[in-house]
Chain A
Amino acid sequence: MTNRSLRDAKGRPLVAVTGLGIVTSLGQGQADNWAALTAGRSGIHAIKRFPTEGLRTRIAGTVDFLDTDPLVAPALSQRFAEEAAGEAIAQAGIGRPGDFPGALFIAVPPVEIEWPQRQALAEASGQNGPITYTDLQRAAASRRFDSWHDLFIFGTVADHIAERFGTKGSPISLSTACSSGATAIQLGVEAIRRGEVSAALCIGTDGSVNPESLIRFSLLSALSTQNDPPEGASKPFSKNRDGFVMGEGAGALVLEDADAARARGATILGYVLGCGEKGDGFHRTRSSPDGAPGIAAIRAALDDAGTAPDSIDTVNAHGTSTPENDKMEAMSCAAVFGDRIRTLPVSSNKSMIGHTLTAAGAVEAVISLLTLAHGRIPPTINYAVPDPAIPLDIVAQARDVPVRRVLSNSFGFGGQNTCLVLADEPA
């Protein structure tokens, strides 16, 4: 070991990962999730949380072993984030309990009052005729529902996580739709590179499988309607893919300036070598037909990492199982990796855990780091009918190969494209 500072290819502080935490429908914690993911087990099941009568989609990867009272998206999202962050901080062994020596960047789903609470307000209003928002306002003024203010404003989840773990400064709550988890990591990386902080807690969390959220995606024809069997519905890159399956969970990473991590004797699990992003102004839900923004985001991540496409050993795909995403992602990867794309292992965790939406980028970054640690690529299950238009090496069975660098892709509504390069060793 030398005393030389750990800097990246561009002379910036190198960003190490020293702690990981994960909650998905497959279980809580790295061990349970890794065992299930590499065994090809699905966490998708019939929704039991609310009645699904009349819905075209009646399945999801809900996390049913954790709950809250009331059972609403911000409370569930907070619960998942607490579990994942607790695991990550314990593994990192950083700071003291309740005193995390760094900043918080947390991707949280947009918040609003939910139907059970609207109904309670309507009932409390005493209105017997047609209900309007004037009635709900009157009920709100009764002071009986004051605790719901904090429950349904946007900054509360981050505040509670900041208080519980003792992160420093003003926490950032963010959304970049389905790439939010990756953006939380990118914000942490940037803050460490600027020298503002030597550690960052980066979280993506989502507990928003409720009737209206599901119906909203259903109305956009984004969801798989192949309800039976539930575990067969999410089939990224398959010819018969027909939409994504909503999932829940959280991923948390402790990022540190590698110098600081080494100085305190921490075990370094891997590195975030590069982050890339590119906006797409083509359409609200669809990608530019030429795939240029997705291609630019992948190239930006590789460039930021100071590495070439040839150094990537596997792609942890966004792979939602929608016809549009998987086609565009395959096209973007082919443009960046050239002929090598036919032999570069590509896999989508969403085949097993569904699309964890706001959490996905962080959950899949955690799985990418586990892939590096174990030298095993989790499978894309349900890959029974390959799509001839997608000439990728889809990992249909867990595959043991040396993995030193992973590209993790995240793409979202609103023209959001964010990619990460994760590695076992510095460039």
Chain B
Amino acid sequence: MSTLRDVVVTGIGLVSCAGEGVAAHLAALGAGAPARTDTESFAPYTVHPVAPLALDGQIPKKSDQRQMEPWQRLGVYAAGLALDSAGVKADADLKGRMHLVVACGGGERDTGVDGAILTGLREAADPGAYLNEHLLNDLRPTLFLAQLSNLLAGNIGIVHGVTGASRTFMGEEASGTDALRIAQARIASGQVDCMLVGGSYSAERPDVMVIHEMGGYLRARDFRPVFERGEPGEAGFILGSAAAFLVLEASEHATARGARALARLGPVASDLTRRRPGSTEASLSALWATTGLEAPDAVISAATGVQPVTVEEGAALARLAPGAAVTALGDVTGHTLETAAPLGAALAAALVSERGLGEVAITVVGHRRGEGVIRVMAA
């Protein structure tokens, strides 16, 4: 094995209900509740909608904006912020070598078309023929390209020219942790020098609420802090719209191009353990030790509010990081599924670079599966 290289964060791009950029998000960290909460548009579900964005600032062509659905626009926008932050937006050569890992699910449905077809199917004499006819005639031909998971990465390539190569990881919360894990490992081992890593999630779509209502994971009540959802009837997550991207590179690569290292990203630890009482706490403890975390100045938790795993996570953190301030992302942005881990890592890097913290831990426990621990340190 060759010597592993340090991996540093040189760019951060953030959008959520807290606004856009590092300053808006650091200001929102201590507020105790997300900056925007909408209890009406998707009642009985609460969502934390994304702050209004001037899309032209990162997606100049209207034709590109039109080709995307909201989850892609958020992601492309945040990716652009990260590239700006890293000072590489105009560096076509570097972007042509930059690799990309995106953690995401799929895109929005055309809810109007779906509703009309479901209504028509009820009376249709030949349901199969009816479905075929209406999908053929009523679906926008290019909607597919706004739904395919890997087309967020594709749009980042088209809009921003990041064309080293992209890979898209799927699988809810764990995919975000693993996107960071594999990006960090590839850079540390010398397989690649510079990567853009992140995720995007749009909560303002009723189709995802159907999915998460099935199984009872969605909280159909007003906001309540994530770690105060332990009582019967309080469990579950409130979805939030957000996107987060980080530019990661080998320390020597950043130095060579004169870039400021905002923070250092340690090896990311993740696992998939079979859930039973105590398994989440045990897994987090083991992963914590793997990352080398000792006494972080702060903890950012992607806890969902789903039980019993959130109560277990709280207990684990009280033991692993006594005295450290624990901030639940759900209390800042709402739950953002695949985006939670990159969002946590980006906020941690901002705390290190802007507030002078020495070490920040990020914990990611999926609502169904997967545990992860991420360690961000001063550069």
Contact present for B216 and A143 (CB under 8 Å): yes
Interface residues in B135-175 by Cβ distance below 8 A to A read: 135-136, 139, 141-145, 147-151, 153-155, 157-158, 161-172, 174-175
**Is B90 part of the binding interface, using a Cβ–Cβ cutoff of 8 Å?**
no
Per-residue A-contact encoding for B214-244, CB less than 8 Å = 1, 0 else: 1111001000000000000000000000000
Min C-beta distance of B70 to chain A, whole Å: 15
Binds A, one of B16-24, B297-305, B313-321, B368-376: B368-376
Cα distance A416–B102 in the bound complex, in angstroms = 13
Q: Specify which chain A residues have a CB less than 8 angstroms from the CB of B212 in the assembled complex.
A: 149
Known: A51-B128, A131-B119, A141-B213. A175 touches B150 (CB 8 A): yes
Contact present for B135 and A149 (CB under 8 Å): no
Cα distance A159–B109 in the bound complex, in angstroms = 26
**Is B211 part of the binding interface, using a Cβ–Cβ cutoff of 8 Å?**
yes
Contact present for B166 and A416 (CB under 8 Å): yes
**Is A65 part of the binding interface, using a Cβ–Cβ cutoff of 8 Å?**
no
Min C-beta distance of B371 to chain A, whole Å: 8
**Is B3 part of the binding interface, using a Cβ–Cβ cutoff of 8 Å?**
no
Contact present for A281 and B211 (CB under 8 Å): no
Q: Specify which chain A residues have a CB less than 8 angstroms from the CB of B118 in the assembled complex.
A: 118-119, 122, 131
Most B CB within 10 A of own CB, among A145, A148, A281: A281
Say which residue of B67, B158, B181 sits within 8 Å of A281 (CB atoms).
B158
Min C-beta distance of B336 to chain A, whole Å: 14
Contact present for B154 and A414 (CB under 8 Å): yes
Contact present for A215 and B211 (CB under 8 Å): no
**Is B100 part of the binding interface, using a Cβ–Cβ cutoff of 8 Å?**
yes
Per-residue A-contact encoding for B229-261, CB less than 8 Å = 1, 0 else: 000000000000000000000000000000000
- For B, the interface residue count at a CB cutoff of 8 angstroms equals 82
Q: Specify which chain B residues have a CB less than 8 angstroms from the CB of A113 in the assembled complex.
A: 207, 210-211
**Is B355 part of the binding interface, using a Cβ–Cβ cutoff of 8 Å?**
no
Cα distance A120–B155 in the bound complex, in angstroms = 35
Q: Specify which chain A residues have a CB less than 8 angstroms from the CB of B6 in the assembled complex.
A: none
Contact present for B178 and A193 (CB under 8 Å): no
Cα distance A110–B174 in the bound complex, in angstroms = 16
Min C-beta distance of B319 to chain A, whole Å: 23
Q: Specify which chain B residues have a CB less than 8 angstroms from the CB of A170 in the assembled complex.
A: 174, 177-178, 181, 270-272, 370, 372
Cα distance A140–B45 in the bound complex, in angstroms = 13
- For A, the interface residue count at a CB cutoff of 8 angstroms equals 85
Q: Specify which chain A residues have a CB less than 8 angstroms from the CB of B106 in the assembled complex.
A: 110-112, 154
Interface residues in A270-324 by Cβ distance below 8 A to B read: 277-285, 293, 297
Say which residue of A118, A169, A196 sits within 8 Å of B270 (CB atoms).
A169
Cα distance A417–B166 in the bound complex, in angstroms = 9
**Is B131 part of the binding interface, using a Cβ–Cβ cutoff of 8 Å?**
yes
Contact present for A415 and B163 (CB under 8 Å): yes
Min C-beta distance of B211 to chain A, whole Å: 6
Say which residue of B207, B209, B370 sits within 8 Å of A155 (CB atoms).
B370
**Is B182 part of the binding interface, using a Cβ–Cβ cutoff of 8 Å?**
yes
Contact present for B157 and A415 (CB under 8 Å): yes
Binds A, one of B32-40, B51-59, B185-193, B324-332: B185-193
Binds B, one of A16-24, A52-60, A253-261, A368-376: A52-60
Q: Specify which chain A residues have a CB less than 8 angstroms from the CB of B171 in the assembled complex.
A: 154-155, 158, 171-173
Interface residues in A136-187 by Cβ distance below 8 A to B read: 136-137, 140-141, 143, 145-150, 152-156, 158-159, 162-163, 169-177, 183, 187
Nearest residue (CB) in A for B267 is A196
Contact present for B150 and A281 (CB under 8 Å): no
Per-residue A-contact encoding for B94-130, CB less than 8 Å = 1, 0 else: 0000001000011001010011101101100010110
**Is A121 part of the binding interface, using a Cβ–Cβ cutoff of 8 Å?**
yes
Per-residue B-contact encoding for A193-231, CB less than 8 Å = 1, 0 else: 111100000000000000110011111100000000000
Contact present for B214 and A173 (CB under 8 Å): no
**Is A92 part of the binding interface, using a Cβ–Cβ cutoff of 8 Å?**
no
Nearest residue (CB) in A for B154 is A414
Cα distance A149–B272 in the bound complex, in angstroms = 18
**Is B276 part of the binding interface, using a Cβ–Cβ cutoff of 8 Å?**
no
Contact present for B164 and A150 (CB under 8 Å): no
Cα distance A217–B142 in the bound complex, in angstroms = 10
Contact present for A413 and B148 (CB under 8 Å): yes
Min C-beta distance of A301 to chain B, whole Å: 12
Contact present for A137 and B169 (CB under 8 Å): no
Say which residue of B126, B149, B165, B271 sits within 8 Å of A279 (CB atoms).
B165
Contact present for A136 and B191 (CB under 8 Å): no
Cα distance A381–B50 in the bound complex, in angstroms = 52
Min C-beta distance of B337 to chain A, whole Å: 9
Q: Specify which chain B residues have a CB less than 8 angstroms from the CB of A211 in the assembled complex.
A: 128, 131-132, 135
Contact present for A187 and B209 (CB under 8 Å): no
Q: Specify which chain A residues have a CB less than 8 angstroms from the CB of B142 in the assembled complex.
A: 220, 284
Nearest residue (CB) in B for A125 is B118
Known: A279-B165, A414-B150. A152 touches B177 (CB 8 A): no
Contact present for A55 and B210 (CB under 8 Å): no
Known: A130-B115, A414-B151. A280 touches B157 (CB 8 A): yes
Contact present for A284 and B128 (CB under 8 Å): no
Known: A141-B220, A211-B131. A149 touches B153 (CB 8 A): no
Cα distance A173–B179 in the bound complex, in angstroms = 11
Cα distance A54–B128 in the bound complex, in angstroms = 10
**Is B206 part of the binding interface, using a Cβ–Cβ cutoff of 8 Å?**
yes
Known: A154-B172, A155-B174, A284-B154. A215 touches B166 (CB 8 A): no
Contact present for B182 and A187 (CB under 8 Å): yes
Q: Specify which chain A residues have a CB less than 8 angstroms from the CB of B162 in the assembled complex.
A: 279, 281
Q: What are 23 of the A-B contact pairs (CB < 8 Å)?
A: A108-B170, A110-B105, A122-B122, A132-B111, A133-B115, A140-B209, A147-B214, A154-B106, A154-B149, A155-B175, A155-B369, A170-B181, A170-B372, A172-B175, A177-B148, A212-B139, A215-B139, A279-B164, A279-B166, A281-B161, A284-B67, A413-B145, A414-B153
Q: A175-B170, A281-B158, A284-B145 are in contact. List 16 more A-B contacts (CB 8 A).
A: A110-B106, A112-B207, A119-B118, A131-B118, A152-B214, A162-B272, A170-B177, A170-B271, A174-B167, A190-B186, A211-B131, A277-B165, A283-B158, A413-B145, A413-B154, A415-B163
Which 8 pairs from chain A and chain B are nearest by CB? A414-B154, A51-B128, A149-B215, A155-B171, A133-B206, A277-B165, A281-B157, A279-B163
